[in-house]
Structure formats: structure tokens, C-alpha cells
Amino acid sequence: MPELLLELLSEEIPARMQARAADDLKRLVCDRLKKAGLAFDNADAFVTPRRLALVVGGIPDSTPDISEERRGPRADAPEKAVAGFKGSLPDGAKIEKRETDKGEFYFAQVEQKGRKTEYVIKDILGGTLNNFPWPKSMKWAECDLPWVRPLHNVLGIYQGKVIPFSIALKSRAGKRAWAESESNLYDTELPLTANNETRGHRFLSPKSFKVKDFADYKAKLEKAYVILDAAERAAVIEKQAQKLAKAAKLELKDDPGLLAEVAGLVEWPVVLMGTIDEAFMELPDEVLTTSMRHHQKYFALLDTKGTLAPKFIVVANTETSDKGKAVVAGNERVLRARLSDAKFFWDQDRKQTLDSRVDALKGRVFHAKLGAVYDKVQRVEALAGALAETCGADATDTKWAARLTKADLSTGMVTEFPDLQGVMGRYYALADGEKPEVANAIAEHYAPQGPGDACPSAPVSIAVALADKIDSLVGFWSIDEKPTGSKDPFALRRATLGVIRLIIENQLRLNLTKIFDITARGIINRVEPAVPGATGHIGKVPEKIIESLIPDLLSFFADRLKVHLREQGVPHDHIDAVFALGGGDDPVRLLARVEALGAFLNTDDGGNLLVAFKRAANIVRIEEKKDGKHYDSEVDEKLLELKEEKNLHKELKSTAPTIAQALKDENFHEAMGQLAGLRKPVDDFFDQVTVNCEDEALRENRLRLLSEISSALDDVADFSKIEGRDK
């Protein structure tokens, strides 16, 4: 089976870029193969810290022959248009003028023989690699090619033969460019020309070797201490780590993100276990795991009680003659140094209360136009107090927790480990003797930060988390720093979804319009900020700012709520039907309405009534357009002749107030149930009544009756937004 094999050997590719690079290589090459008319059976991309590889199987020997007719411009078109058409044709194309029902046009008959695949691939690979979309790239030595790290070799084989292509490296100083970091191993020829050679592990098997196809390539790499597949490397790491943990009667802490990252740091994983000094085990678990995970890429271990054990797993990229003893000792030494710093911060930070650190926030900028972190804390404290009752929280505890939320930013521990902000605040608050609910609110006020993050459920935590996010949203809206397109530097979309989750998951009945108004006035009318050099007030026209700010922010919330509901599997047309009625300042009410609508439409009555509604709406729309007038006035009961139209009118009149009361009471399922009762009279009407009858007075009256159907349903939802079923 014809097969393409490509490998790009370079210096270490950052782990965070590897998966995307493999996907991009596969996508770009495969898309160009398809565009060239080259079908294939399968394609797979692989990546290690030092190599990016692609194999494509089942490629034909040549592109298909082309035989097609192309129509050009009119015969009397400008000369430039005709010349452009002729210039777009391949050599040998036959051109003629031909009469059509739209006039005389140029036509060309194109007959083109297929090209050999190896030459097509040559063009495809050269173009792809010289324009590869790395998030960040570099140039090295005297080369002009941008690549993530210096390239050292290109392996390119098709059907067992080397593909005749080069990457256009431009040397400004000579023929050879030296890779200084690996000068003891090899240097790089310019330009890089494809060959059938590669190299194994940097230290365990640095010599080059030839390969003939993918199976040979993968097998020889493994003998040369390189596991090509990242998933296989991850599986090896996990298996070896589990084995070591089991032998020590411990359990490996599940961390799929770290596992994937470490698999991108090694080509030949060797898993070892190290020991944490007992003196450091008094540190909070989060400090230990952060030091190990983020800085050293170590895996944590748990004992039989589920608490952190004084052991860690480290993954080396090489085998050593001493079975890893020196590697473990070196990593223990590095971890000891990091944890010594952490223990120093832990001991020193607790000598000062959180409350005493609040004033230090005056010198920490939140935003030049919004003041210091201290200013934000003051605003959040006031807003949290206003939200406390609605959240079921004690106002005094809530305001005190809000005051302390950012105090840990001034601690040595958070300065060293920024990821622990909030977490350390909780520990320090408990050490100060604060109430557990206050301490927990400090830890949880950033949550939820993503779809997988737990949402606070304790009243004080809810109020403080809401206040913090709403203050940021209204603040940045007030200075016109809103998200644009894909740019959201202040993570305002995430903050909005956080507010939505806090409200929905805790069933809070908040009037967002009122809350935004309170927050905006607190920001716009604030005193001069504590940050030296900050710009002071936003302005002295708060009403003008608030009038435009609140509707715009509510609209943004509505859009994010739609996204949230769609991610939960709610049909987009159900969402649009409810949102069209407004009321976006109460997410819980909107959600209840959407759920009730979905349940109603999933019933037989709901589905059939939707069909009838669309039929009625279409008839009225068509007749109004034809007649040039609207049929939304009152029905004349004297003109109702048939029992079906009389019965329908009676049911609509009696149902309308019941539906209105149910909607007022927020009993949306009851409102939907009342709508279901209209199905039979509506069906009977369409079965027995001719709307467009000869009597003009009867016709107009029946059109008004159809309009009443739409009006009755529109009070519940905009049914015109719903994608209906055809009868």
C-alpha cells in the first residue's frame, strides 16, 4: 500500500504545543492532498519532545486525469477579463466561443494528465512546512525559517523512496549553520533536504539509522529508546507509577493533565519514587502539591486514608547505571529547597493576621481606571452585604469575609505561588480564629472558574463570589473594556458564566438590573483611588453611563446564558422562543420557562399545537400581505357561524386569563397545560372551517380568530422561533 512518512527532528518542542502541532500537520497535509485530488485511506500524526511525525496510507500513484469544460466571460467582455480567463487555463486548453440562451460566451475544454504523486507531495510538504502555524516560533543561527525550535533533520519517504524536496532555509552567512546546544552530536546542513534517516534517544541512542516505511520507523525508534505515540508513553508512565505506588502501599493521585504534560517531556519514560522530608509534611497539602506539580512535574501519592503521603513520583527521560538513585537524590534535593522556601513563608505569614494585611492592598493596582485592589475590596464588601439576605447569609459575616478576600495577595506564600491565592487565605483565616464560613468564603470567592469547577453552595461563599464577579463585570463595562471577538483579557466571559452558575445552581432570585445599577453607582461615584497615579473617578455623569451600561451588560448575560443552556443540551430554538419575550434579568425564571416549554413540546399535544400555530400564523401573514392590512383586532362574535369557530373563540377567551395568572405565578407548567387544552378546538377549526370563504366579512373575522391563536401562544413563548414539524 503506497505510504507517505514524514518526520521533523528538532530540539525540544514545548509540551503545551505538541498536540496542536500534530493536529495541524495532519490537517494541513491531508487538506492539500484532497485538494490535489489524492484520496487516501488513513492518516496519523505523532509527536514527542523532539520529533513531529506523519504517516498517510493508501495514496494513489498519481493524481486523476482532468477532463472538464469551463465557461469564461461573455464574448464582448473587456479584454482584461478575457485575458484573465485565458491565463487561468493550463497549456493545451482549447478555447471557443459558443452561443447560449444568455448570449455568446467563451468556453474552454481542459484536458490534463495526472501528475505523479511524489512530485505533488514534494510541493505540498514544502509549502506546508515553510508556513507552519506555530503559536510561537524562532529563527536560529543564520537561518530565516521560523520554527518552534531549531530543526536538525527531515525524513520524507513515499513508497520507500526519498521525496525530492527541501525546506527553504535561507542562510545569510554561509553553507552550514551550527546547532550549538547539540554540537557534540551533529550539525545542520542548509537547506534541509529530505532523507530516509532519523535518530533515536538523545543520550541512549544518538546515532542515525535508515528506515524504509512507518512500521520499520516505529520499530527501530523503539529499539533506539523512543516511544513515538504520546498515548503509549502516558500509559507506560501510569503503569509504572501505579506499580511503584502499590509496592509502597500507596495510591497514585489522579492527575490526567499532569500525565499528558509529562508524556510530552520524555521520549523514554523511566518512573522513579522519591521521598519528602517529614519536616515539610505540616505544610498545607495544596502547597506541597503545587510545589511538586507546577514547578517540578512530580506526581503526588496518597496513603490509605486518602491524605498526602511523604512520597512523590518523578519521571526521568533516561536510564542510568545506578537504577535512578542519583536522579532521585537530585530531585529530592531540588524539592527540599523549594519546600524550605514554602515553609519559611508559611511560618512568617502566620505571624500577621489577614486583617492587618488589608491596608497593604492600597499599593497593589487592580486597574488604572478602577483603582487599587483595596478599592475593589471596599466595593465588593458593600455589594456582598447587599446580596447577603438574598443568598441567605449573615450580612456581618459576609461583609467581613469580603473584606479579607484579597488579603492573602500580600503574603509571601501567594507571592511565591500565585495559584494558591484564596486557598492560603482560608488557611490563614482559620489560623486567625475566623469562622469556618468566613474562611471558606475566602477560598471559594474565585469559583467557579470553569465548567469543571465546583460551584459554591454555602450562603456566605455565594454572596462574596457573586459580588466579586459582578463588581469586575460592571467595572470593566463602565470603562468600556468589554470582550471583543476572541479577545477577553480580563476573563469577563468566564466571570459571566460564573455568575450564571451561582444563580442557577443555587436557585437565587436576583434582579440583575437592580444589582448592576447598585454596582455601577458604587463604581462611578467612588472616591479617589488609593493607587498613586491612578486616573481617579470615571466621570461625573453616572446616569448617562448607567443608562447605556446596564442594557448592554444584560444583553451580554443573555448571550452567555444561551451558550450555557446549549451546552446543557437545550435546543437553541426553545431558548430563542423564551428569550424573545425578554426578562433576561432573572436567569432562574428564564430557565424554568425554557424547561417547561421543552417538556410541553415533547408531548403529542405540544407538537401538534405547534404545527397548528404555524399554519395559523402563515395564513394570517400571507393574507395580511395580500390585503395590505392587519387582522389583530377583536373578533366579532355575531359573525361566528359554525360551532367549531364558536368553540375555539370561547376556549381562547376562557384560557387567556388562566394562562396570564399562571405566568404571573411563575407556574409555567400550568400555563403549558392550559395551552395543551387548545389542541382539540384548534384541530376541529382547521378540519371544518374554511377561512378564505367568499363572504368577505366572515373571512376577515376568521382571520382575526386565527390571529387570536397566535396571541394566546405568544404570551407563553414566541412560537415563531421554534422549528416545527410538518404535517
| Residue 173, pLDDT above cutoff 70 | no
For residue 175, pLDDT beyond 90: no
The candidate with the shortest Cα–Cα distance to 703, out of 626, 608, 628, 633, is 633
- Dist CA 612 CA 87 (whole Å): 58
Q: Which of 35-39, 181-185, 499-503, 513-517 has the highest mean pLDDT?
A: 499-503
pLDDT score recorded for residue 534: 43
State the Cα torsion 559-560-566-570 to the nearest 10°: -80
CB 495 within 8 A of CB 543: no
Instruction: Supply 407's cell numbers.
Output: 488579603
Task: For residue range 84-117, list pLDDT tens digits in order.
Answer: 998 888 777 888 888 888 899 999 888 777 888 8
Instruction: Name the nearest CA neighbour of 250 among 329, 325, 307, 294.
Output: 307
Confidence check: pLDDT of 381 > 80: yes
Q: What pLDDT shows up at residue 183? A: 34
In 3D, which of 637, 657, 656 has the Cα closest to residue 704? Answer: 637
Residues in contact with 295: Cβ distance below 8 Å, sequence separation at least 6, in sequence order: 338
Q: What is the mean pLDDT of residues 288-298?
A: 92
Tell me the pLDDT band of 542, cut-offs 50, 70 and 90.
low
Per-residue pLDDT reduced to its tens digit, 109-129: 887 778 888 888 988 988 888
Measured between alpha carbons, how far is 492 from 707 in angstroms, rounded to an integer? 43
pLDDT at 645: 87
Q: Which of 177-191, 427-441, 694-708 has the highest mean pLDDT?
A: 427-441
Q: Is the pLDDT of residue 721 over 80?
A: yes
Residues above pLDDT 70, as percent of the chain: 92
Q: When comparing pLDDT for 89 and 5, which is higher?
A: 5
Which of 530, 533, 447 has its CA nearest to residue 494? 447
Question: Identity (one letter) of the amino acid at 292?
Answer: M
d(CA 305, CA 326): 31
CA 277 to chain CA mean position, Å = 40
| Helical ranges in 452-603 per DSSP H | 459-478, 492-505, 512-524, 542-567, 572-579, 587-601
Of 458, 454, 438, give the one whose Cα is nearest residue 391.
458
- The per-type count for the chain, helices as H runs and strands as E runs, is 24, 20
Domains and CATH numbers, the chain: 3-61+117-223 (3.30.70), 66-112 (no CATH), 230-349 (no CATH), 355-569 (1.10.3210), 596-721 (1.10.730)
Q: Is 90 exceeded by the pLDDT of residue 297?
A: yes
The single-letter DSSP state of residue 535 is: -
State phi, psi for 161 to the nearest 5 degrees: -115, 150
Q: Where are the alpha helices (H) located in 248-324, listed in sequence order?
A: 256-263, 285-290
pLDDT at 466 over 80: yes
Determine the pLDDT at residue 190.
Answer: 54
- The pLDDT assigned to 169 comes to 52
pLDDT at 112: 72
Tens digit of each residue's pLDDT (9 = 90 or more) over 627-646: 888 888 888 888 888 898 89
Segment 691-704 shows an average pLDDT of 89
Give the model's confidence band at 718: pLDDT under 50 very low, under 70 low, under 90 confident, else very high: confident
Residue 289 backbone dihedrals phi, psi, to 5 degrees: -70, -35
- pLDDT of amino acid 627: 87
> Average pLDDT of 187-200?
78
Query: Please, which pLDDT band fits residue 525 given cuts at 50, 70 and 90?
Result: low
Give the mean pLDDT of 493-512.
93
Q: Which three cell numbers stand for residue 355?
A: 486583617
Average pLDDT of every residue of the chain? 88
Model pLDDT for residues 54-74, shown as the tens digit of each residue: 999 999 888 887 777 888 999
DSSP 291: I
